[in-house]
């Protein structure tokens, strides 16, 4: 197991180096090169331009530049943003990466869960009218032009029902009276969620270890999850940060909904196909013959095994989800990586754009690694 993870880590490191190299050479192969982009940028003074050219050795040969760039990347020195001069790129990314991380982790988990459950029941209810309707709805939400969906969602929930804010990361009227930093509050939220996640994982493993009865296992898992969530909510409620945290969460609901809607169908359709293939397997007949209740055959035997190709496909579609995220973030003014990437590109802020692109790649790579490890846990055949 450890060897497997180690192998994956080495592979992913190599991929990262190649990825950075491709990004670097592609940007330098642009007509006119980086220097012309730099010189034509009106936001920079003559002196600033010279400093940057000197600091990043833009006058040196390409290979030396590349070597320096590589060294800089791994010391997290990504240069200085043109548009936020003189803020270093890393500082901007360090501020925005967690926001994307939170948005995506939540939306992805929900989307996977919804897709998994609905795909499972689609295959189990094959040939019914409900199957056709859900398939069509699924494909439409999967291929819908994301801005179109967002316009309608903002109108419906933001204006028509008026229950969610239109856009923005937070409500300025609320935050104007405090000298609290939004980033601090945000990091607390992230920390709370990770702690709850860890508690869930630990209680799940404990349940597996200490009981062989499905009922007891479920009880341990749900009980500890509920207790940790209630405890966290209580802490937030009594702390002075509570209202600010709630404000951020409240602003997050719509973006999470959008990313969920555009990405659940991918999981659903693959799950349906995989499930249809699995229920023709012999071990499903065995499970039925053993006299197991229909639900147990479906969930424990068919769905659990059908899940494996779904996870593989999920890795492949990660890029798609991140792409949808760029549109979502920029239309909801959610200041994460996607929005940073778009606006730095539009503003010709090359170092920030390159940094954002690289860290979007790192994010996807990291997600790959996580999914790989999960997969290794789920499929005993590749564990050794």
Partner 1 sequence: MITLGSILEIKNFKMYYNTQAGKVKAADDISFSLNEGESMGLVGESGCGKTSVSMSIMKLLPENAEIISGNIYFNGKDLVPLSEEKMNEVRWAGISMIFQAAMNSLNPVYRVGDQIIEAIVTHEPNVTFEEARGRVANLYKLVGLDPERMDNYPHEYSGGMKQRAVIAMSLACNPKLIIADEPTTALDVIVQDTILRELDKIQKRLNMSMIYISHDIAVIAEVASKIAIMYAGKIVEMADSVTIFKKPAHPYTVGLMSSFPSIRGPKKELNMIPGEPPNLLNSPDHCRFAPRCPFATDECISKTPPYEEIEAGHLVACFHPQNLKRQVSANVG
Partner 2 sequence: MTDSTDALVKEKLESPMSVRIKIMWRSFKENWKIFAQSKIGLLGLWIVIIFAVAGFIVYPILTATVWKSTSLNAMVSYNPITGYDFLTTNPAPPSWAHLLGTDPLGRDVLAELLYSTPREFMLGILAALITVFIGTLIGTVSAYFGGITDTFFMRLADIVLLFPFIPFLIVISGMMQVDLITLALIIGLLSGFGGITIILRSQGLIIKSKPFIESAKISGASDAYIIVNHIIPNVMPLSFLYMMFNVTGAIFSEATLSFFGLLNIKMSWGLMIYTADTAGYIVGSNIWNYWWLWLPSGAAITLLCGAFYFIGRGLDEVVNPRLRKR
Closest Cα to residue 268, out of 117, 141, 140, 107? Answer: 117
Q: Which positions from 144 through 173 interact with partner 2, judged by CB under 8 A?
A: 144-148, 151-152, 154-155, 158-160, 166
Q: How many residues bind partner 2 (CB under 8 A)?
A: 60
Phi, psi values for residue 87, rounded to 5°: -75, 130
DSSP state at residue 82: S
- 129: contact with partner 2 by CB under 8 A: no
Out of 287, 315, 364, 371, the only residue in the binding site for partner 1 (CB under 8 A) is 287
Only segment of 1-9, 184-192, 203-211, 338-346 that touches partner 2 (CB under 8 A): 338-346
Closest CB to partner 2 among 66 and 142?
A: 142
Element (H, E) at 39: helix 33-39
Instruction: Return the SS3 of 87.
Output: coil
Q: Would you say 282 and 253 are in contact if contact means Cβ atoms under 8 Å apart?
A: no
- Please state, in angstroms and rounded to a whole number, the distance separating the CA atoms of residues 175 and 152: 28
Residue among 169 and 375 whose Cβ is closer to partner 1: 375
DSSP 83: T
Q: Which does 67 bind (CB under 5 to 8 A by kind): partner 1, partner 2, none?
A: none
What is the C-alpha separation between 217 and 208, in angstroms, rounded?
A: 7
In the complex, the smallest distance separating the C-beta of residue 267 from partner 1, rounded to whole angstroms, is 19
Pick the stretch among 3-11, 18-26, 275-283, 342-350 that binds partner 1 (CB under 8 A). Answer: 275-283
CA-CA distances (angstroms) from residue 252 to 233, 258, 263, 318? 17, 10, 17, 20
**Segment contacting partner 2 by CB under 8 A, of 11-19, 78-86, 215-223, 226-234:** 11-19
Partner from partner 2, partner 1, none binding residue 320, C-beta < 5-8 Å depending on class: partner 2
Binding mask 262-291 for partner 2 (x = CB under 8 A): -------x---x--xx--x-----------
Give CA–CA dist 124/117, Å, rounded: 11
Phi, psi of 86 (to 5 degrees): -105, 40
Listed residue (110, 84, 257, 254) closest to 168, CA to CA: 254
Task: Enter the tokens of residue 202.
Answer: 């630990």
Contact between 245 and 209 (Cβ < 8 Å): no
Question: Interface with partner 2 includes 365 (CB under 8 A)?
Answer: yes
Positions that interact with partner 1 (CB under 8 A): 212-213, 281-283, 285-294, 296, 301, 304-305, 308, 378-381
Footprint of partner 2 on this chain (CB under 8 A)?
15, 18-19, 22, 26-27, 30-31, 37, 126-127, 132, 135-136, 139-140, 142-148, 151-152, 154-155, 158-160, 166, 269, 273, 276-277, 280, 316, 319-320, 322-323, 326-327, 330, 338, 341-342, 345-346, 348, 350, 353-354, 356-357, 360-361, 364-365, 368
């Amino acid at each position: 197991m450890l060897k497997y993870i180690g192998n994956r880590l080495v592979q992913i490191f190599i991929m990262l180096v190649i990825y950075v190299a491709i990004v670097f050479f592609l940007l330098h192969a642009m007509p006119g090169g980086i220097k012309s982009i730099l010189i034509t940028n009106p936001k920079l003074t003559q002196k600033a331009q010279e400093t940057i050219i000197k600091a990043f050795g833009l006058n040196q040969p390409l290979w030396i530049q590349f070597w320096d760039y590589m060294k800089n990347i791994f010391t997290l020195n990504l240069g200085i943003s043109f548009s936020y001069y003189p803020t270093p790129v890393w500082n901007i990314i360090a501020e925005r990466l967690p926001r994307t991380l939170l948005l995506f982790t939540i939306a992805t988990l929900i989307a996977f869960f919804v897709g998994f459950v609905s795909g499972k029941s689609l295959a189990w209810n094959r040939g019914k009218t409900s199957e056709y309707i859900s398939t069509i709805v699924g494909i439409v939400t999967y291929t819908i032009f994301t801005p179109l969906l967002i316009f309608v969602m903002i109108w419906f929930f933001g204006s028509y029902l008026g229950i969610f804010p239109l856009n923005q990361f937070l409500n300025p009227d609320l935050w104007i009276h405090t000298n609290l930093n939004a980033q601090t509050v945000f990091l607390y939220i992230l920390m709370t969620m990770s702690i709850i996640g860890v508690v869930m994982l630990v209680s799940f493993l404990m349940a597996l270890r200490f009981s062989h009865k499905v009922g007891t296992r479920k009880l341990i898992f749900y009980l500890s999850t509920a207790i940790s969530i209630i405890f966290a909510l209580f802490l937030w409620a009594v702390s002075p940060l509570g209202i600010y945290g709630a404000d951020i969460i409240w602003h997050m609901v719509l973006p999470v909904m959008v990313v969920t809607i555009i990405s659940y169908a991918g999981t659903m359709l693959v799950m349906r196909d995989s499930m249809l293939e699995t229920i023709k397997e012999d071990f499903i007949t065995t499970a039925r013959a053993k006299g197991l209740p229909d639900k147990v055959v479906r969930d424990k035997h068919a769905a659990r095994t059908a899940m494996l190709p779904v996870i593989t496909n999920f890795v492949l579609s990660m890029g798609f989800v991140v792409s949808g995220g760029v549109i979502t973030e920029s239309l909801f003014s959610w200041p994460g990586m996607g929005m940073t990437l778009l606006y730095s590109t539009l503003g010709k802020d090359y170092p920030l754009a390159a940094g954002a692109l690289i860290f979007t790649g790192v994010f996807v790579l990291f997600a790959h690694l996580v999914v790989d490890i999960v997969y290794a846990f789920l499929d005993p055949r590749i564990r050794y």
